[in-house]
Amino acid sequence: MKKKNVIVIGGGPAGIEIAQILSNYSCNVTLFEKEPQVGGQIKRIDKLFPDFIVQDEMMQKLISNLEKTDIQIHTDTEIKDIEQIDNIWHLKTNKEEAFTADAVVLATGFKTFDPKYKEELGYGIYPGVITTLEFEDMLKAGKIQTSAGEEPRRIAFLNCVGSRDEKVGNHYCSRVCCINAVKQSIETKELLPNAEVFCFYMDLRMSGQFYEELYRKSQEKHGVNYIRGRISEASSTFDHRIQIKSEDTLAGLPLKMTVDLLVLMIGVEASEGTTNLSAKAGILGEYGFAKSLSLHLKDNLTKKEGLFLAGACKRPSTLREVIADARAAAFEVVNYLKMEING
């Protein structure tokens, strides 16, 4: 029996996991990743919430079997076009190469919100205003410092930057930022016990397992301060610190504070690849994400036969959800192609 061809688009955790599972079945698996290396956006994270597992180690475990498989991996390669003709999927890359497949899995993931659209927060203008990813770089390096190379005395984290924000057109919650701010606050206090840490929030959505406990611990053990209010404006002070204005909506009072670092918890958006390929395949959902056939029972299927979805290309998701979703998507592909496990 002729081996089926499966193409996985996206070499993040979802794409890697699904490709590895499918490689155990009677099919040829091809994986495309637009970056020079597989791994996806998670590579930039130091430790994972809620258990502070080192990301590099986790990803190493995830990727360790990849080399032992016969998966064809094309890095630096972006799928630009996708079309289904007579049940066969035809794909074209940025290098003008053509591929065909019996099934395609979209695992094109997300991108982070560009905070320049929230001009009032001064990102790109004031060096003391940074994103959560830039802060993660500092955590990875084991040293939190201001642009002047000094140890910060006071750090503020601002949630919902580009999420739940009508002005930028993102009404949805990015789901990972609240707990990530809690994680980063604790890591800050561990590195800089004398620093003051403030988290500004609208609601704290501690819906995952161990999230609420971590939130409590951040206050009780580490003394992180939580202020319910958004920051309306950031500006530079005479000594190049950051002045922020907000409202403490629980106290009902306006608030002005000077900090050394303002960390913007930038939200999750559909990646360009997700939006572009979803549009071309006719499965474009809300906010540029890919649309599954049914949220509850057919979440890995699409209205196009042979086109499957895995991970954060559908909506903002945590890493745990992405990996579980990839496994579910693999199951759907195996069922669809009626494949048998390799002997």
Residue ranges that bind other proteins, judged by CB under 8 A: 116, 119-120, 122-125, 127, 147, 233, 235-238, 243
CB of 153 to other proteins, least distance (A): 18
Distance between the two ends of the chain, CA-based, in angstroms?
A: 14
Nearer to other proteins, 75 or 237 (CB): 237
Nearer to other proteins, 130 or 310 (CB): 130
CB of 126 to other proteins, least distance (A): 9
Write out the DSSP string of 323-343: HHHHHHHHHHHHHHHT--B--
Q: Which is nearer to other proteins, 96 or 239 (CB)?
A: 239
- Min. distance of Cβ 119 from other proteins in angstroms? 4
Which residues have a Cβ under 8 Å from the Cβ of 336 and sit 6 or more positions away? 103, 305, 306, 308
Determine phi and psi for 277, rounding to 5 degrees. -75, -35
Q: Name which of 236 and 249 has its Cβ closer to other proteins.
A: 236
Our CB check for other proteins shows the closer of 10 and 128 to be 128
Amino acid (1-letter code) at residue 225 = N
Residues 236 and 126 sit within 8 Å (Cβ to Cβ): yes
Cβ of residue 73: shortest distance to other proteins, in angstroms? 33
Q: How far is the CB of 124 from other proteins (least distance, A)?
A: 3
Q: Where are the alpha helices (DSSP H) in the chain?
A: 13-22, 55-63, 132-141, 177-191, 211-220, 272-281, 319-337
Q: Going by C-beta distance under 8 Å and a sequence separation of 6 or more, which residues neighbour residue 335?
A: none
